Structure 1
Amino acid sequence: MVTPSGVVDGYVEVTGQTIVTVGTGTPATGSWVVPGFVDIHTHGGGGHTFTTGDAAAAREAAAFHLRHGTTTLLASLVSAPPELMRQATAAFAPLVAEGVLAGIHYEGPYLSQARCGAQNPQYLRDPSLAELEALVELGGGAVRMVTIAPERPGALEAIKLLVSRGVVAAIGHTDATYDQTLAGVAAGATVGTHVFNGMRPVHHREPGPILALLGAESVVCELVPDGIHLHDGTLAFAAKVAGPDRTALITDAMAAAGMPDGEYELGGQAVVVADRAARLARDGAIAGSTLTMDVGLRRAVDVGMSMEDAVRMLTTTPARAIGMAGEVGALAPGLRADLVVLDEALRVERVMRAGSWL
């Protein structure tokens, strides 16, 4: 078992939906037991998307990732017109209340035109405090995180507003300088959205957002461990610099996760998936991933991370990043009984969520 105190042979006792005991001393069985994965950045999976605001599709996407061990996930939207953001928020709020989703993540539309990546450039705009207030109010607690480029006019005020309303502010899709990024951190941003991707690259005379985020002790840095978003050497280096308590491994998955190669859609744009890689048809920009968290765990271990550190980056750290450390993310008494049983090859054998086996 991978517990907060390390890797041990032992057992988990569950009553109802809650872990009541984590004991040690049981002989090893050849299996691993880890906490349910916590994915704080997902656009869909299993042929279903979060980005259209369809509640039925969202339920199916969450079920797909649950089968791969993700027991807690945010539904990530992409840059969209105001009416679609309102529609999606209203549609997903009941799923958050039900526990199907842990919350809503707006990845945009307050992002950099120069670093928009697969975000639809026609929907990008400066932050609006009135719009954010209305969306947070409409969500009734469902809005959990918002990604913002800190250099846009009004961005620092928007970050402060989000933090005051209990919403996590993230920095991403940004052309900010090093100092502009740190200003966003000082305003209250605590997450770096898929660090390296959709960001001004590092330069030794203008380090930009990447080094600012990796060096900021208050920031959890998202990394996508699919071998496409990041070279394995970059993944290993960044995770070592930030450490397991400041690294959250995410999927950034889109509807094509778990599906065959072919043509898909993201934010109203055509996406072509070939050999696991999802790219915009118009310019080849990376358009999310086809990753699942169990595959991400295996890759993290393959590039040299310890099992203990890799699991922490997939569970405990992302749970803390979105304010759920007291509910999920660890094998510990009092937390929700979310467990994944893995075989010796780290492939999913069984999944328990809230005390019930799938």
Structure 2
Amino acid sequence: MKRLIIINGQLIFPDHIDTGKALICNNGKIEQIVTNEMLEINPDDQIIDAKQQYVSPGFIDMHVHGGGGHDFMDGTVEAFLGIAEVHAKYGTTAMVPTTLTCTDEELMNTFTTYKKAKSLNNKGAKFIGLHLEGPYFSPSQCGAQDPKFLKKPYPKEYNHIINVSQDIVRWSVAPELEGAIEMGKELQRQHILASIAHTDAIYEEVEKAYKSGYTHVTHLYSAMSSVTRRNAFRYAGVVEAAYLIDDITVEIIADGIHLPKPLLQFVYKFKGPDKTALCTDAMRGAGMPDGESILGSLTNGQKVIIEDGVAKMPDRSAFAGSVATTDRLVRTMIQVADVPLTDAVRMMTLTPARILHIDSSKGSLEIGKDADIVIFDNQIHVINTISEGHVIYSK
């Protein structure tokens, strides 16, 4: 395999930007980072001249449902590979395919299809595990999730699912449901990220859940409780708990629509870039024109409308998933929320890598880590996407 050398770039590290250095990749890894004066080029090296554009770690999307007209719930290898290729165009080098509440048959098919697709995926963003979003959610906070598939977590069922698939890396659950605390403990034992989502929990329930293994909050502010009244008394909700419990990590759909500028700034100010990951939560409409679409599988999914840069329920009463791409998230944090470039990039790279416990191999430009790299201009428009040393997109 030829060495890949990136020259003349502005290298983005977690806390600074460096120039005058070259990035040398070999056998899928970052082998050296050397000054221009120390660089020695061999005749068969593959050279990419970044032309003073930014050279960043590859973007990691830890919550994504689809793109390019495909959804992971379509249950086909073609859909999986199509989604991976579409998002690679926008800088995503690694992604966590995410399910929706669905039938048992669809879920089992997703597990089988994931394995097949992963073995064939050499042109798109790499699959780094599955995220099960549901079916253990609060009916009052199901959002665009189909309520007819909602359940309570029973050990026999979730343990069977865990045993069937070794590819599950995270599971989103409403922690106030009967049986959810025990489930959180089991997920922690299985090294699966337990995440709080689609929930009406109050602070005290979140605190108990955190102690039982729920260390992350799925798409903060979306489909979750805030300050509420019960029998005339006020209670803090999941949103407040996310800020009060320092070590809970969160993810946000930073498309500028799910969360407007003040909330993006609020999350950044009080959770910070080390506890906040950016995620697209993109459905099949990402990378597609406006119009009618389907959230979930083609057979059992729900009709939605794509307009104004977001997917909406047909009656326009609620959002129905995002059509964002990872470059858009970074751009929004910089241009709308006024976040420094290094912090915006960190929330799309090293922070999700740490939350998923893969930061030993991904998330930053370090010697020995995977050569997952994205080159973009000062408007965060992607020029090259590189996965494990292979160019998978070039503008």
TM-score of the aligned structures, taking structure 2 as reference length: 0.87
Q: Separation in 1 of the partners of 2:164 and 2:127? A: 16
Q: Separation in 1 of the partners of 2:330 and 2:352? A: 14
Q: Is the counterpart of residue 213 in structure 1 residue 246 in structure 2? A: no
Deviation at 1:101, TM superposition (A): 1.1
1:247-262 mapped onto 2 (5 Å cutoff): 247-262=276-291
Count, aligned residues: 357
User: CA 1:122 to 1:329, structure 2 compared with 1: closer, same or farther past 3 Å?
Assistant: same
- Of 67, 74, 86, which aligns to 1:45? 67
TM-score of the aligned structures, taking structure 1 as reference length: 0.95
Asked if 1 retains the 8 angstrom alpha-carbon contact of 2:280 and 2:322, the reply is yes
Q: CA RMSD in A?
A: 1.8
Aligned to 2:359: 325
Give CA-to-partner distance per residue, 1:227-262, whole Å, 9 cap, x none.
111111101111221111100001010000111111
User: CA 1:339 to 1:184, structure 2 compared with 1: closer, same or farther past 3 Å?
Assistant: same
Q: Secondary structure at the match of 1:265?
A: strand
Which moves more between the two structures, 69-78 or 88-97? 88-97
1:31-70 mapped onto 2 (5 Å cutoff): 31-70=53-92
Q: Separation in 2 of the partners of 1:252 and 1:154? A: 26
Which moves more between the two structures, 280-289 or 315-324? 280-289
User: CA 1:225 to 1:5, structure 2 compared with 1: closer, same or farther past 3 Å?
Assistant: closer
One-letter identity of the residue aligned with 1:274 = E
One-letter identity of the residue aligned with 2:349 = T
Asked if 2 retains the 8 angstrom alpha-carbon contact of 1:215 and 1:242, the reply is no
Q: Is the counterpart of residue 272 in structure 1 residue 301 in structure 2? A: no
Q: Secondary structure at the match of 2:201?
A: coil
- Of 189, 192, 207, which aligns to 2:217? 192
Q: Is the counterpart of residue 301 in structure 1 residue 334 in structure 2? A: yes
Deviation at 1:202, TM superposition (A): 3.4
Q: Secondary structure at the match of 1:253?
A: coil
Q: Is the counterpart of residue 17 in structure 1 residue 43 in structure 2? A: no
Deviation at 1:172, TM superposition (A): 0.8
User: CA 1:289 to 1:28, structure 2 compared with 1: closer, same or farther past 3 Å?
Assistant: closer
One-letter identity of the residue aligned with 2:353 = A
Asked if 2 retains the 8 angstrom alpha-carbon contact of 1:214 and 1:221, the reply is no
Q: Is the counterpart of residue 133 in structure 1 residue 159 in structure 2? A: yes
Deviation at 1:25, TM superposition (A): 6.4
Asked if 2 retains the 8 angstrom alpha-carbon contact of 1:270 and 1:282, the reply is no
Give CA-to-partner distance per residue, 1:296-332, whole Å, 9 cap, x none.
1111101111111111100000011112111111101
Aligned to 2:195: 170
Q: Using the aligned pairs only, state the percent identity.
A: 34
Q: Separation in 1 of the partners of 2:371 and 2:33? A: 11
Give CA-to-partner distance per residue, 1:278-313, whole Å, 9 cap, x none.
012256321111100001111110111111111110
Q: Separation in 1 of the partners of 2:364 and 2:222? A: 28
Q: Separation in 1 of the partners of 2:345 and 2:356? A: 17
Give CA-to-partner distance per residue, 1:167-199, whole Å, 9 cap, x none.
111001100001111111110112110000001
The runs of 5 or more residues in structure 2 that have no matched partner are 1-10, 38-48
Aligned to 2:318: 285
Asked if 1 retains the 8 angstrom alpha-carbon contact of 2:251 and 2:276, the reply is yes
Deviation at 1:219, TM superposition (A): 1.9
Asked if 2 retains the 8 angstrom alpha-carbon contact of 1:105 and 1:146, the reply is yes
Q: Is the counterpart of residue 8 in structure 1 residue 18 in structure 2? A: yes
Q: Separation in 2 of the partners of 1:241 and 1:125? A: 34
Aligned to 2:44: none
Q: Separation in 1 of the partners of 2:200 and 2:84? A: 32
User: CA 1:354 to 1:339, structure 2 compared with 1: closer, same or farther past 3 Å?
Assistant: same
Q: Separation in 1 of the partners of 2:165 and 2:120? A: 13
Give CA-to-partner distance per residue, 1:197-236, whole Å, 9 cap, x none.
0011235942200111233233220011111111111011
- Of 363, 370, 386, which aligns to 1:336? 370
Q: Separation in 1 of the partners of 2:244 and 2:16? A: 26
Deviation at 1:118, TM superposition (A): 0.5
Q: Is the counterpart of residue 113 in structure 1 residue 113 in structure 2? A: no
Q: Secondary structure at the match of 1:64?
A: helix
Q: Separation in 2 of the partners of 1:111 and 1:122? A: 11
Which moves more between the two structures, 220-229 or 283-292? 283-292
One-letter identity of the residue aligned with 2:53 = S
